[in-house]
Structure 1
Amino acid sequence: MTERTTSSSWALSIVQALELDGLDCQDLFVKLGLDYSALNDPDARFAQDGMTRLWQRAVEITGNPAIGLNLAKVMRPGAMHVVGYALMSSSTLRDSFQRLVRYQRIIAEGADLQFGSTNRGALLTLAIHGDQLPPARQSADGSLASTLAFCRWLTGKPLVPIEVYFQGPPPADIEPYEAAFEAPLRFNAEYHGMLMRHVDMDIALPTANAELAQLHDRFAGDYLARFSDSRVTHQARQVICRLLPQGEPRRETVAQSLHLSERSLQRRLDEEGTSFQQLLDDTRRTLAEQYLARADLALLEVAYLLGFADPSNFFRAFKRWFAMTPGEYRAQC
């Protein structure tokens, strides 16, 4: 089974967050069988279940279930590997969020980010996937809090979300969450996420640099390509992208292209935390954003490039993805 991993840079940020509550993480790493010295190796990666056990043990020792929020206090560009610098060089927060979604797997494979526009605002949603262990709530808390802290640092403005969403029930002590987000909190939600104001997402970043953005994109793309080459998900996505203009790809066809049986393809995708239908849907969604940014492509052309024989099916899918029509999305872009 393919094990999800977390970058050493993100693991180091978790360590720094835990140390704010007085934990001896070097001793904790030894007891959990984790390699503390690997934190200083930029190319090292830690098993996600190892990070989950780290969060769990930290809560047991400190008695602080909100300890994940400490990540906001130690957030810095380097915490996100090359991705942090790509975000810094982006033109706007919206551009930065789109890069974060694109390169998230470099930071940690257990997190699945989605970003899109709604009538109320720009919505960033987060799903945390576990391996053998269910994901720690602190991981989602820390991811949301640190993302908001990074946005505030990037813009130099005290940004406040419209709403913040958590899948779990309300904590016994809600005050640390209110202090971290300063926004309405919604628990028992469908997903973890933050709804941001459109006007905030279009703030020009003082660190914007188009040339550096291109350079960081290349670095991040190269790393992701090396990292993903062995993943069936990555290979299947490439096949789907190639086949979509000919119509909706069949699982059998994609499996044959990868020299796998249908059953083997589905099993490998399951092991990597997805399914063929989900991968097809995610690929179409990502390509739809790219195609609609091109003014030379008519909406009907976009529908056919995405493999929809009936344009009405494309419009329904797009409404499900972004809570607006393709025309409305293009007008906002």
Structure 2
Amino acid sequence: MPDAIPLMRTGLMESIILEARDMGIFTPPYEKEAGLPPLPWGEQPPGIAMPLAMGMDFLEIVARKEGLPLFGYQVVNQNSLPLIRSFHLQCRACANVGELIRQFITQAQEQTSIADYRLIQTREAATLAHCGHSPRKHCLQTDLYTVAILIQLLQRVLGSQWMPGQIHLRSEKIKAIERASVFRGVDIRFNQPYRAIVFSRELLQAGIPSFQDHPAPGTDKRPELPREGISRQLEALLPAYLATGMLNSKMLEKISGMSFRTLQRRLQQEGHQYSEILLKVRLQQARELLHRTDHNLASIAGKLGYSNTPNFIRAFRHWTGISPGEYRRLYKAGTKASNTTTPLSS
């Protein structure tokens, strides 16, 4: 039984999908097969959460069906690291490669709930490794995606031709990877305990240029992805799936990676019920949409998974004591609408 639901930011998935489309790949069938949330990629906030396993499945599905054994590497290599929106590295204050890597490690923890990047040093070598638990075993494309991110991080400083001395992959030996021209001269090691790149320790002291395309420290902050607590993780996941209107037991099993009965039992152990969490998430999203958008009520009802507007209005009035229209008017008038409402019990 899983102890948690591994999460990832949709911003990471968005960068993969948009790059795949730039490569000429028609992604919607693969998105559906992997179970990705039906989000407007390129338009939605990058901080929403989704199941990490589905992102990993998408990489494997595209690679297999498009005949692209290096897809996980190519989908990163198509663009430079700064253009991956979810990896805004705050590196203006970094004096050398070692500091840049440590900043990367800090920032990367915000992108998935199982991120565990480590810089391991010996007398001569430095290893930048991802040691986190994976919800899937032997996922070659996730291996390639991870090492591509690490390689591009250092190529930003050391030049686009730089490559590590070694690449460690968790997957089994694949001849197509060994023979790939992009890895010529690199010692690739399969069946390793973690994904990693290995390079000379001396590089940690190499100076880095000033990056003007990164935001200043303190910007682009998002709530931390919950690493434990099924109820908290469901709260983070459900916003991406509300608009489907299909949050039934089958969908929840796919999202959570456990049977619906097990999910219910885990929630009960934490003192929660699924229906309560769904209502809470809907209220939070309704308030957010009423605050920051001018969408009409029919559009908001659809985004929350309601089949019709009257059902949404009745539910909102039940939650808050006022209609969504009144709530929006109070907010726009500068009144603290939350002070006039009845909070949803938790």
TM-score (normalizing by structure 1): 0.58
Match of 1:58 among 62, 67, 71: 62
Q: What fraction of aligned residue pairs are identical, expressed as a percent?
A: 12
In 2, Cα distance between the equivalents of 1:88 and 1:147?
19
Give the Å deviation of 1:51. Answer: 0.5
Matched, 1:7 2:13: no
In 2, Cα distance between the equivalents of 1:190 and 1:160?
21
Give the Å deviation of 1:145. Answer: 1.7
Give the Å deviation of 1:61. Answer: 1.2
Q: Judge conservation of contact 2:168–2:195 (CA < 8 Å) in 1.
A: yes
Q: Judge conservation of contact 1:17–1:73 (CA < 8 Å) in 2.
A: yes
Q: Judge conservation of contact 2:123–2:201 (CA < 8 Å) in 1.
A: no
Matched, 1:72 2:77: yes
In 1, Cα distance between the equivalents of 2:142 and 2:211?
29
Q: Judge conservation of contact 2:81–2:152 (CA < 8 Å) in 1.
A: no
Q: Write out per-residue CA displacement over residues 182-229 of structure 1, whole angstroms, 9 at most, x where no aligned residue.
A: 4222222332211122232222111268xx88x42x346x53xx3157
In 2, Cα distance between the equivalents of 1:117 and 1:143?
19
Q: Judge conservation of contact 2:138–2:171 (CA < 8 Å) in 1.
A: no
Match of 1:193 among 165, 188, 196: 196
* Aligned counterparts, 1:115-154, within 5 A: 115-131=119-135, 133-134=136-137, 136-154=139-157
In 2, Cα distance between the equivalents of 1:188 and 1:134?
11
Q: Judge conservation of contact 1:124–1:194 (CA < 8 Å) in 2.
A: yes
The corresponding residue for 2:46 is 42
Q: Judge conservation of contact 1:115–1:124 (CA < 8 Å) in 2.
A: yes
In 1, Cα distance between the equivalents of 2:134 and 2:148?
20
Counterpart of 1:188, as a letter, is N
Computing the radius of gyration from Cα coordinates, the structure with the larger value is 2
In 2, Cα distance between the equivalents of 1:84 and 1:120?
30
**SS of aligned partner of 1:199:** helix
Give the Å deviation of 1:172. Answer: 2.5
The corresponding residue for 1:320 is none
Give the Å deviation of 1:80. Answer: 5.3
TM-score (normalizing by structure 2): 0.56
Give the Å deviation of 1:5. Answer: 1.8
**SS of aligned partner of 1:119:** coil
In 2, Cα distance between the equivalents of 1:149 and 1:186?
19
**SS of aligned partner of 2:90:** helix
Q: 1:107 to 1:162 in 2, by over 3 A?
A: same
User: Aligned pair count?
Assistant: 226
* Aligned counterparts, 1:232-311, within 5 A: none
The corresponding residue for 2:224 is 227
Where do 5+ consecutive residues of structure 2 fail to align?
230-265, 271-346
Q: CA RMSD in A?
A: 3.2
Q: Judge conservation of contact 1:126–1:193 (CA < 8 Å) in 2.
A: yes
In 2, Cα distance between the equivalents of 1:87 and 1:53?
32
Q: Judge conservation of contact 1:89–1:208 (CA < 8 Å) in 2.
A: no
Q: 1:56 to 1:208 in 2, by over 3 A?
A: closer
Give the Å deviation of 1:181. Answer: 6.6
Counterpart of 1:126, as a letter, is H
In 2, Cα distance between the equivalents of 1:64 and 1:80?
24
User: By percentage of residues, which structure has more helix?
Assistant: 1
Q: Write out per-residue CA displacement over residues 98-141 of structure 1, whole angstroms, 9 at most, x where no aligned residue.
A: 1122222212234321113211221111135333x446221121
In 2, Cα distance between the equivalents of 1:113 and 1:207?
24
Q: 1:104 to 1:176 in 2, by over 3 A?
A: farther
Counterpart of 1:227, as a letter, is E
Q: Write out per-residue CA displacement over residues 209-253 of structure 1, whole angstroms, 9 at most, x where no aligned residue.
A: 8xx88x42x346x53xx3157857xxxxxxxxxxxxxxxxxxxxx
The corresponding residue for 2:170 is 167
* Aligned counterparts, 1:86-101, within 5 A: 86-87=90-91, 89-101=93-105
Q: 1:138 to 1:202 in 2, by over 3 A?
A: same
Give the Å deviation of 1:22. Answer: 3.1
